[in-house]
Chains A and B, each alone.
Chain A
Amino acid sequence: MKFSLRKNIISIICYLYVFMLVYAATSKLLDFENFKIQLGQSPLLSSFADWITILVPVTEYIIASLLLIPKFRFIGLFTSYLLMVLFTAYIYIILNYSAFVPCSCGGILEKMTWNQHLVFNIIFIFLAAFAILLTTEHPLLFKRKTVKL
């Protein structure tokens, strides 16, 4: 694959993620009280709702900014991937193991059923994994190696 094409694909995936993360975090903060109630009603998180309500949007913003800074893009992609994996595992548990299926998420995702959400998440996981595998630029973590090479 051509380098520029690769770069473009990775950029598109990153911007998709940035858009989604910023949207998700902002919609949570705009309706913070409601978000807290929804998390309190979540079968998996209710007991930890206090700190998770802050942790989730903050993490989303941090990851979004990592993706926007070229230096940290690889770490950004990797953490986005992890976040989506965790979220997908959460949905999977709700659908299959939980005695209690709560209402829904906020924003546009509100219109989705849990199963559609699962598919949506898996697509995003694959996108992030794809971008990570495409990355040839050497990530910050391995900068010293780069110099040696």
Chain B
Amino acid sequence: MSYKVKLFLLLTSALIGVGIVFYLFHLSEEITHYQNKFIRRYPQHVAQEIYQADLVYNSFYFAGVANGKIYLGNYTAPLQILALDSTLQKRTTHKITLTEKDLPFASPQIRVQGKHFFVFEGIAPYVFKGNIRDWKASLKINSGYYFSQLKPMDSVTMAVRYLTPKSGESLLGTLNLSDISKVAYGDHLLQKQFDGIFDTDGSLHFNKELNRIVYVYRYRNEYIVSDPFLQLAYRGNTIDTVSTAQVNLVQKKNSTLKTFAEPPLVVNKTSATAGNLLYINSALPGLYEDENIWKIASIIDVYDLTDASYRSSFPVYDINNKKMKSMLVSGHFLYALIGNNIVCYELIEHLSQNKAASSYTKTN
């Protein structure tokens, strides 16, 4: 073989090789984001803890975030609200006063939305509304279907998960506090697989920036995105492979109650949404993952709601061997309740993985 032939062979084969690698790269990106077969991507340093505070008690839940403050309700002191500044250092406790006091109160919950707050209990049912200036609330709703979850969409409309009378099946809907007749139900949104109660269980969210109701199923790899009028936008899938709820129930003897025959397979534990993104704390390790991370952290998967794609995953670390209970995302900050503690993670834009990493290092 002459030099010329050899050189030609070397160059053409190199070109073809480079072409193949580029093609594989595009194919792999496409698969990861749009047809993911349960392979997570863990970019480094996209979520870093920046603040942590001890709340002394573990009975807090997120009531909302507004006006630069994080509001926490307390299950054991239902009419108290704890406001934290965004650095988790300054704390103020507010006492809520209700105008009507003769309702069957059992475990009221609080949601804060903008300048307003709501006190509700789905199995009474009732909804109070008030202003956070004086923390006084008056009764707005005292009738209708029972409900099990409520998320304010604005100062008068709420996204609600109702319980269908008699069957007890879950039903997504909305509630208007100023006009009771404007109740709406989205019968087609939740899809029953066997009992309509456990199989449709999940968590309800409202995404302000996109103006969308988001519902994440607990026992299957699906989330539902709908507009505020309960018109389905699309059904998205999480990256795991559990498409049918794996829940086995048995009827108790001499009772109408049902109970788990075996521990159910939880797919999506808790979730949150903000901006274009949906954050889901998954319960299932994927392929080629280091199992150890699951022992010391909760894994959050990030999805883009604008195109239903998977973006990336990151860990939220346990504190004193306690796993994260719930989370709330606001802007670039993720707040999580872990045991008696609350932590704040700063989220870097890079977690959406839609730009080359080199473009970040170049701008820094």
Q: Within 8 Å CB of B27, what residues of A?
A: 47
With A49-B288, A82-B17, A86-B21 given, is the CB distance from A139 to B358 under 8 Å?
no
Q: Within 8 Å CB of A116, what residues of B?
A: none
Q: Within 8 Å CB of A101, what residues of B?
A: 43-44, 357
A138 to B1, CA, bound (A): 8
Q: In this complex, what residue of B is CB-closest to A41?
A: B42
Q: Within 8 Å CB of A86, what residues of B?
A: 17-18, 20-21
Whether A49 contacts B39 by the Cβ 8 Å rule is: yes
Q: Does A36 contact B (CB under 8 A)?
A: yes
Q: Does B116 contact A (CB under 8 A)?
A: no
Whether B39 contacts A47 by the Cβ 8 Å rule is: yes
Whether A85 contacts B17 by the Cβ 8 Å rule is: yes
Q: Within 8 Å CB of B9, what residues of A?
A: 78
Taking the closest CB of chain B, its distance from the CB of A125, in whole angstroms, is 8
Q: Does B142 contact A (CB under 8 A)?
A: no
With A49-B288, A81-B10 given, is the CB distance from A99 to B17 under 8 Å?
no
Q: Does A8 contact B (CB under 8 A)?
A: no
Best-surrounded residue of B43, B289, B354 (most CB of chain A within 10 A): B43
Which DSSP category, helix, strand, loop or mixed, fits chain B's interface? helix
Whether B355 contacts A89 by the Cβ 8 Å rule is: no
Could you say which of A39, A44, A129 contacts B25, with CB atoms under 8 Å apart? Answer: A44
Q: Does A51 contact B (CB under 8 A)?
A: no
Taking the closest CB of chain A, its distance from the CB of B15, in whole angstroms, is 9
A46 to B353, CA, bound (A): 15
Q: Does A3 contact B (CB under 8 A)?
A: no
Q: Within 8 Å CB of A103, what residues of B?
A: 44
A4 to B15, CA, bound (A): 33
Taking the closest CB of chain A, its distance from the CB of B282, in whole angstroms, is 16
Q: Which of B269-323 contact A (CB under 8 A)?
A: 287-290, 312
Could you say which of B7, B32, B43 contacts A47, with CB atoms under 8 Å apart? Answer: B32
Q: In this complex, what residue of B is CB-closest to A103?
A: B44
Whether B24 contacts A44 by the Cβ 8 Å rule is: yes
Q: Does A61 contact B (CB under 8 A)?
A: no
Q: Within 8 Å CB of A43, what residues of B?
A: 25, 28-29, 32, 41
Q: Does B22 contact A (CB under 8 A)?
A: yes
Q: Within 8 Å CB of B29, what residues of A?
A: 43
Chain B 332-364 interface 0/1 with A at a Cβ cutoff of 8 Å (1 = within) = 000000000000000000100111111000000
A142 to B39, CA, bound (A): 46
Chain A 95-117 interface 0/1 with B at a Cβ cutoff of 8 Å (1 = within) = 11111110100000000000000
Q: Does B188 contact A (CB under 8 A)?
A: no
Whether A48 contacts B24 by the Cβ 8 Å rule is: yes
A-B contact count (CB 8 A): 97
Taking the closest CB of chain B, its distance from the CB of A52, in whole angstroms, is 10
**Chain B contact patch, size range:** 35 or more
Q: Within 8 Å CB of B354, what residues of A?
A: 99
Whether B18 contacts A85 by the Cβ 8 Å rule is: yes
Q: Within 8 Å CB of B1, what residues of A?
A: 138-139, 142
Whether B7 contacts A89 by the Cβ 8 Å rule is: no
Q: Does A23 contact B (CB under 8 A)?
A: no
Whether B3 contacts A133 by the Cβ 8 Å rule is: yes
A95 to B361, CA, bound (A): 10
Q: Which of B10-58 contact A (CB under 8 A)?
A: 10, 13-14, 17-18, 20-22, 24-25, 27-29, 31-32, 37, 39, 41-44
Whether B353 contacts A99 by the Cβ 8 Å rule is: yes
A97 to B21, CA, bound (A): 12
Whether B28 contacts A129 by the Cβ 8 Å rule is: no
Q: Which of B175-223 contact A (CB under 8 A)?
A: none
Whether A40 contacts B28 by the Cβ 8 Å rule is: no
Q: Within 8 Å CB of B3, what residues of A?
A: 133
Q: Within 8 Å CB of A118, what residues of B?
A: none
Taking the closest CB of chain A, its distance from the CB of B293, in whole angstroms, is 10
Q: Does B253 contact A (CB under 8 A)?
A: no
